[in-house]
Amino acid sequence: MLFEQIQSNKRKTIVLLVAFIIFVAIVGAAVGYLLWRSLEFGIIAGIIIAVIYMAIMISNSTSVVMAMNNAHEITSSDQSPELWHTVEDMAMVAQVPMPRVFIIDDQSPNAFATGNNPQKSAVAATTGLLSTMNRSELEGVIGHEISHIRNYDIRISTIALALSAAITFLVNMGSNWWLWGSGDRRDNNREGGGGLQIILIVFSIVIMILAPLAAAAVQMAISRNREYLADASSVALTRNPQGLISALEKLGRARPMKDVDSASAALYISNPLKNKQHLFDTHPPLEERIARLEKM
């Protein structure tokens, strides 16, 4: 059951990423047709813009993310023995390099991982997590974060964010240019407009209207799927599903964090801003995550 769930989640993520890239191409085609009457040029422009966004976002340093969340680094086990040794143990079991370790001064229990690859990774935990969790619960949480590192989830999330940003840029560019040059285009339509052209224009406009909503939905689906995968992978590391189950139950009763960067909310093991779930939450309901773990 455990390894079947891991493989299923990996396959779903690949499908979602491929669908996301195809959707970028579709949005590019829509913008290209509205602006230049060229589907091909729009597709090429969309892919180039997406690649540029991915390069910029992937190059962001761990230090920037940690600074945004007011995290301070610890560099030896003397500063926080339990956290340090738990991270060290989970990294050893997962066979990844020891990540940098950070602490966030917040009484709400939570944690997250960041970094572009296992060689340049970091884990952060709140003081509330350290004071609330026992050893097995802490191992479950840290195992979850180490799994994000081992599974390259942070890079996948970054790619999804970049693709979403690229779609937003394309839609804004298309909307602004279309409105700016609407008079000229109406004249062109009178001169050579046909039924197919009208259909393509209407289709392109509909794509541009729905694109941001669809991009957000795919991005959230990827994020939720990676949370399920990290939960299952954590159990594979600790061999103790009850530890993570108990930790998630405590996280479900936690108060929102006081000072958290909203752009980083998707990184945390549970939503640090609010507990109420809705369609575009980056995290699956804790109850559903617990139910899956109980079946292992």
50 in Cβ contact with 162 (< 8 Å) = yes
Tell me the two tokens of residue 200: 């393509």
- Sheet with 121-126, strands from edge to edge, namely 71-74, 100-104, 121-126, 111-115
For residue 216, the SS3 value is helix
Q: Which pair of structure tokens corresponds to residue 145?
A: 């974060």
Q: Which of 137, 139, 145, 227 is catalytic?
A: 145
Distance, in Å, from the CA atom of 41 to the CA atom of 44, rounded to the nearest integer, reads 5
Nearest Cα neighbor of 9 from 284, 286, 208, 262 is 284
Answer whether 201's CB lies under 8 Å from 34's CB.
Answer: yes
In the chain, what is the straight-line distance between the N-terminal and C-terminal CA atoms, in Å?
A: 6
User: Under 8 Å CB-to-CB from 292, ≥6 apart: which residues?
Assistant: 5, 228, 231, 232
CA–CA separation, 36 vs 112, rounded Å? 44
Strand partners, 296: none
Active site residue 145: yes
Report helix, strand or coil for 227: helix
Q: Which residues are catalytic?
A: 145
